[in-house]
Structure 1
Amino acid sequence: MYVDMGNLAADAVTLDFSVAGTTADQWNVKVSQIPCSSNYRAPNKCVKYYTGASGTVTSYGFPGNTLLQNQNYESCIRQEAGYCSILWDQSTVTPPADAFDLTNAAMADQATNNVITACGKSFVKIPNAVLGPTSAPITAFCGEVFGVEAQTVANSFTSSTLPFTLSTFTGAGAANTLTTFDPVANGYSLDYVQQAC
């Protein structure tokens, strides 16, 4: 997790952990400061930062099959030399894990793309994602499949918008306001492959 902060001696970052109930859990947290002029520094507003021509981006909590509530952050992928677009796919995971399981699917195992009317509780955004050169761009994705509205099969989407980003939003109650056919949202795991110019 990258946190932007000022560069003055009085600037500080505070980490707060909120745990419901009683617990004996402990954490080891490593904190590294990165010089402002560093070439490996994440761009401003990028909470997650990925490098390399391919990789996997997951939502916080995904390894534990948990969709965290009240999240609003951006994952950024560094554009590698010679690459001008990025291809996104739903990851292949071992059942019972589900690689794309956000809230608000109209029906079981269906994709949803309308952030205004359907994706209010949780969604991801990829700027100007398209299925092909002649398709209209889709920006928001929610539901139970990373795909086109009302479809039950996952699709691959390409974006040429720079910088390469994937935004994540989950509201209060995102994990527990689902339909009767999917009582628990798991989050997402999406693979990316940068495409040559």
Structure 2
Amino acid sequence: MVILDASDECHIALFDFSGASVTRQFDIKVTQYACGDETGGPDGCLQYFTGIAGTLASFNFPTEAATLSSTVTHLSNQCYTICFRQEHDKCGICFTPVNDGTIAPGSFGLSISSDAASATGVQDSKCSEDYLQIPGAERGSTFEVGSTSAIFHSRICGRFFTHSDASGVGGTDNSESICTQRRPFRIHFKTDANENTLTEDEADMNEQVLAPGGILGFNLNYALQDC
């Protein structure tokens, strides 16, 4: 579901289907929320989640599929905010991949690796094209609500959803959660217009080299944390 901020003006939905096929179609349910209705979420939130736990995914991610093919690709030119309601007595939020890689290729892959010969997670300044931005992100294994971590990251990308002490470079698996106590609970998703799938056979130049690929997008669990 997507939520759009509205005004008193007319709103027009435009769709552009490429190719010559005449079978493409759409079926959209539209719900309008009164001004001030919390159900519609805060201003600027394209998606709004309530409850203490749930899942979220990038558009085009096949969340119901048992396995993912190598052609699964997130949408290009995305730039939107995902918001989470702060429930009673909850002061933090943690994210983990739905599939940690036990079933290949896992459920996270955005952009290139930091290493030419191996798939790695990437953070912060090295995430400039496709990334998730989690303000005040901390490593889940050391996260504690009310305590201040010495290490914060914001942008998360690469082949694994990881948080590392090393500057820029993340880990090489999806075994750890990433948490934040920055409120309001919001994350941002950004992708550019193209995928790096050049002829080079190095993971830091080609998003399709090595697994998991950097074209997947994401499918994550979230869970609010007690104060």
What is the TM-score when the length of structure 2 is the normalising length? 0.78
Q: 1:2 maps to which residue?
A: 3
Q: How many residues align?
A: 192
How far off its partner does 1:179 sit? 3.8
Residue aligned with 1:81, SS: coil
CA distance in 1, matches of 2:48, 2:31: 15
Q: 2:129 maps to which residue?
A: 121
Report percent identity of matched pairs: 26
1:43-65 deviations in whole A, cap 9, x for unaligned? 10100110010011111111173
Unaligned runs of 5+ in 2: 64-71, 199-205
- 1:25-174 aligned within 5 A: 25-63=24-62, 65-92=72-99, 95-107=103-115, 108-114=118-124, 116=125, 118-131=126-139, 132=142, 133=147, 134-147=149-162, 148=164, 149-154=169-174, 155-174=176-195
How far off its partner does 1:104 sit? 1.8
Q: 1:185 maps to which residue?
A: 215
Contact in 1 for aligned 2:112/2:158 (Cα 8 Å): yes
Contact in 1 for aligned 2:93/2:225 (Cα 8 Å): yes
Contact in 2 for aligned 1:104/1:121 (Cα 8 Å): no
- The code of the aligned residue for 2:183 comes to L
Q: 2:67 maps to which residue?
A: none
What is the TM-score when the length of structure 1 is the normalising length? 0.89
CA distance in 2, matches of 1:48, 1:174: 24
1:82-138 deviations in whole A, cap 9, x for unaligned? 101111112226734531111121234310003x3x222200011101112534111
Q: 1:25 to 1:170 in 2, by over 3 A?
A: same
Residue aligned with 1:128, SS: strand
More strand by proportion, 1 or 2? 1
Unaligned runs of 5+ in 1: none
Q: 1:4 to 1:53 in 2, by over 3 A?
A: same
